Amino acid sequence: MSGQSYALKFDEYGNTREFFVYSSGTGISGNSFINKGTAFSEEERDRLGLTGLFPPAVRNLDKQVENSRGKVEKKVDDIERFIYIRSLFDRNVTLAHALIRSDIARYMSIIYTPTVGLACRHYSSMFRSANGIHFYPGNIDRAEDVLRRFLHRDIRVAVVTDNQGILGIGDQGAGGIAICVGKLMLYTQGAGIAPWHCLPVSLDVGTNNEELLNDDEYLGWRHRRLTGDDYINFVQRFARAFRNVFPNALCQWEDFSKQNAFAIRDAYLHDLISFNDDIQGTGAVALAGILTAMRIKKERLRDQVFLIHGAGAGGIGIAEQIETALCEEGLRVEEARDRILTLDSRGLIIAGMDHLPYKKKFAKNPAGLAWIKDDKDRQLENVVRNTGVTVLIGTSGQAGCFTREVVEAVLAHTDRPVIMPLSNPTAMAEALPEDLYEWTGGRVLIGTGSPFAPVSFGGRTYRVGQCNNVFVFPGVGLGVLASGAREVRPEFFTAAARAVSDFVSQAEMNEGALVPDVTALREVTLKVACAVGECAIRMGVSRPCSFSTFQHNDDPVRLDELIRKMRWEPNYLPLVAM
Catalytic residues: 112, 183
Cis peptide before 425 (omega within 30 of 0): yes
If one counts every other C-beta atom within 10 angstroms of the C-beta of residue 278, the result is 24
Residue 220 neighbours by CB under 8 Å, 6+ apart: 124, 134, 136, 163, 173, 174, 175, 204, 206, 207, 212
Instruction: Phi first, then psi: give them for residue 425, nearest 5 degrees.
Output: -75, -165
Residue 299 to residues 30, 392, 414, 417, 468, Cα–Cα distance (Å): 57, 16, 11, 12, 24
DSSP lists the bridge partners of residue 575 as: 19
Q: Cα separation of 445 and 442, whole Å?
A: 9
Amino acid present at 156: R
For the sheet with 157-161, list strands across it: 133-135, 198-203, 157-161, 250-254, 274-276
Buried b (16+ CB within 10 A) or exposed e, 329-348: eebeeeebbebbbbbbeebb
If one counts every other C-beta atom within 10 angstroms of the C-beta of residue 412, the result is 11
Alpha-carbon Rg for the chain in angstroms: 24
User: Pairing state of beta strands 198-203 and 157-161?
Assistant: parallel
Number of alpha carbons in the 13 Å side-chain half-sphere of residue 203: 30
Q: Cα separation of 63 and 363, whole Å?
A: 58
Residue 66 neighbours by CB under 8 Å, 6+ apart: none
Residue 179 to residues 160, 195, 256, 272, Cα–Cα distance (Å): 9, 15, 12, 21
Q: Cα separation of 362 and 1, whole Å?
A: 53
Question: Beta-strand (E) ranges in 324-411?
Answer: 340-344, 347-348, 391-394
